[in-house]
């Protein structure tokens, strides 16, 4: 079946058309996965401003839908009017899916209202999807490896850090999560301390490339504890104290550091964050006899993290399946995939914004 999916939970507006088939192990093809990023709008504020995000989603959704129709409608549809193109597109669609949470409430509502209208006008079933499930299932796009359970799933995004023990594609137990900041949030905050622009993850990764990861011994929070929980707030504070001590500055005034110092801090912070995630994940693999490791969420785009996981999984003899690069950060294709898997389970969600929806 073809699914038209919509994602507006944070600062990316995205509309996708995907094809989905299969039940035990579903497979997906992406016909189009359009993302309009609001990075430039939020950058001056150092983070996402919910009402600006809402305004941008409202503006971008119809633009993306139009671009999608131009991309996927048949050749004979060229030269016809926009409404007719949308009609031609919707003829190919079997279901509309939209993110209902977690995320910023005003932002979620824009996608929900847009999806509701489309579904009503073209008489299509409408399904609500969980954004975190989307990240979890993003490994299914383009995967050629065997999928075996039990598996350990790690979600690392701007708002979440959690470890899951999965006994099947649809059955899992949360075995650990962050007690304070999400790892992506720590990246963003450290970036700000280093005067790198928002969003900080890719900027810190770039700075870290030429830094020495062993130059500063930042703490590896909670590694000595037997649970699978994380804490990144302490690590972030250690970076702040290091900067203060290094520059003899007050915390609230901007730190003046050299590029070399900045790169070393970025690399050392990243080493601590990755080691914490990796060690807890690999301990869970061993203790639960997992056969594969899945990762999802924006931080999974980090090449050092993916490299470290790949190496450790190889050593342990378990499969490591990261998402294809085009579905790692927020996108609607993964929302379509999770809605499809929900329909297989006959799971229906309420079509209202649920900002704190969990897994
Ligand atoms: O999954 P995502 O796109 O949105 C949320 O659901 O939160 O994740 C965004 C987070 C941000 O904190 C961003 O800084 C981080 O993912 N991120 C990265 C990288 N790319 C994005 N963190 C580290 N390295 C990266 N390359
Ligand atoms: Zn996300």
Q: Quick one: tokens of 249?
A: 């500055």
* Contacts for 286 with CB less than 8 Å, ≥ 6 apart: 316
Q: Ligand 2 centre and the CA of 79: distance in Å?
A: 37
Which residue has its alpha carbon closest to ligand 1 atom 16? 298
User: Is residue 327 lining ligand 1, measured as CB closer than 6 Å?
Assistant: no
* Placement of tokens 């995967």 in the chain: 143
At 247 the pLDDT is: 83
Residue 255 Cα to ligand 1 midpoint, Å, equals 24
Can you spell out the DSSP letters for 107-141? HHHHHHHHHHHHHHHTT--EEEEEHHHHHHHGGGT
Contacting residues for 87 by C-beta, under 8 A, at least 6 apart: 122
Architecture of the domain whose range is 2-138+326-344: 2-Layer Sandwich (3.30)
Atom number of ligand 1 nearest to Cα 159: 7
Name the closest-CA residue to atom 3, ligand 1: 329
Q: How close is the Cα of 131 to the center of ligand 2, in Å?
A: 6
pTM of this structure:
0.95
CATH number for region 147-323: 3.30.420.40
Residue partners of 356: CB distance under 8 A and separation at least 6: 101, 102
Q: How far is the CA of 300 from the centre of ligand 2 (A)?
A: 11
Regarding the beta carbon of 330 and ligand 1, being less than 6 Å apart is answered yes
Other CB atoms within 10 A of residue 39 CB: 12
Instruction: Please say whether the beta carbons of 216 and 242 come within 8 A.
Output: yes
Candidate of 38, 296, 299 to mutate for ligand 1, largest count of ligand atoms within 8 Å of Cβ: 299
Report whether residue 221 contacts ligand 1, using a CB cutoff of 6 Å.
no
Q: Is the CB of 184 under 6 A from ligand 1?
A: yes
Are 216 and 268 a contacting pair, CB within 8 Å? yes
Residue 46 Cα, ligand 1 centroid: separation in angstroms?
14
What is the residue-level pLDDT of the chain in tens, covering all 359 positions?
Answer: 999 999 999 999 999 999 999 998 999 999 999 999 998 999 888 888 999 999 999 999 999 999 999 887 655 556 677 888 899 899 999 999 999 999 999 999 999 999 999 999 999 999 999 999 999 999 999 899 999 999 999 999 999 999 999 999 999 999 999 999 999 999 999 999 999 998 899 999 999 999 999 999 999 988 888 899 999 999 999 999 999 988 877 777 777 899 999 999 999 999 999 999 999 999 999 999 999 999 999 999 999 999 999 999 999 999 999 999 999 999 999 999 999 999 999 999 999 999 999 99
Q: What is the DSSP letter of 178?
A: B
Tell the residue number behind the tokens 């000595």, with chain if given: 224
Residues, Cβ < 5 Å to ion ligand 2: 157, 330
Nearest-atom index, ligand 1, CA of 301: 26
Q: What is the pLDDT of residue 76?
A: 55
Distance CA 20, CA 338 (A): 10
Residue ranges matching CATH 3.30.420.40 in the chain: 2-138+326-344, 147-323
pLDDT at 75: 55
Q: What's residue 78's pLDDT?
A: 61
298 Cβ below 6 A of ligand 1: yes
Which of 184, 203, 232, 303 should be mutated for ligand 1, with most atoms under 8 A from CB? 184
pLDDT at position 73: 67
């Amino acid at each position: 079946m073809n699914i038209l999916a919509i994602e507006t939970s944070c600062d990316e507006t995205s509309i996708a058309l995907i094809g989905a088939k299969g039940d035990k192990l579903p497979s997906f093809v992406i016909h189009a996965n359009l993302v309009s990023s609001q990075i430039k709008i939020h950058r001056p504020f150092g983070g996402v401003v919910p009402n600006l995000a809402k305004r941008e989603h409202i503006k971008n959704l119809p633009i993306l839908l139009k671009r999608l129709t131009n991309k996927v409608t048949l050749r004979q549809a060229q030269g016809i009017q926009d409404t007719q193109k949308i009609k031609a597109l919707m003829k190919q669609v079997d279901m509309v899916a939209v993110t209902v949470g977690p995320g910023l409430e005003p932002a979620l509502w824009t996608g929900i209202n847009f999806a509701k209208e489309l579904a009503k006008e073209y008489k299509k079933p409408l399904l609500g999807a969980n954004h975190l499930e989307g990240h979890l299932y993003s490994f299914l796009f383009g995967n050629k490896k065997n999928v075996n359970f039990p598996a350990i799933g790690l979600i690392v995004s701007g708002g979440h850090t959690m470890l899951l023990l999965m006994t099947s594609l649809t059955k899992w137990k949360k075995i650990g999560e962050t007690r304070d900041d999400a790892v992506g949030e720590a990246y963003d905050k450290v970036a700000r301390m280093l005067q790198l622009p928002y969003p900080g993850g890719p900027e810190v990764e770039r700075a870290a490339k030429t830094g020495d990861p062993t130059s500063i011994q930042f703490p590896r929070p909670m590694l000595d504890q037997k649970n699978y929980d994380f804490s990144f707030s302490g690590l972030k504070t250690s970076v702040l104290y290091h900067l203060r001590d290094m520059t003899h500055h007050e915390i609230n005034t901007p730190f003046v550091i050299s590029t070399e110092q900045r790169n070393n801090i970025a690399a050392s912070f990243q080493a601590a964050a990755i080691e914490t995630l990796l060690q807890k994940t690999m301990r869970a693999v061993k203790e639960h006899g997992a056969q594969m490791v899945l990762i999802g969420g924006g931080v999974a785009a980090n090449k050092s993290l993916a490299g470290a996981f790949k190496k450790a999984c190889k050593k342990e003899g378990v499969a490591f399946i990261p998402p294809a690069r085009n579905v790692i950060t927020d996108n609607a294709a993964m929302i379509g995939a999770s809605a499809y898997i929900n329909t297989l389970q006959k799971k229906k969600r309420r079509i209202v914004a649920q900002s704190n929806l969990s897994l």
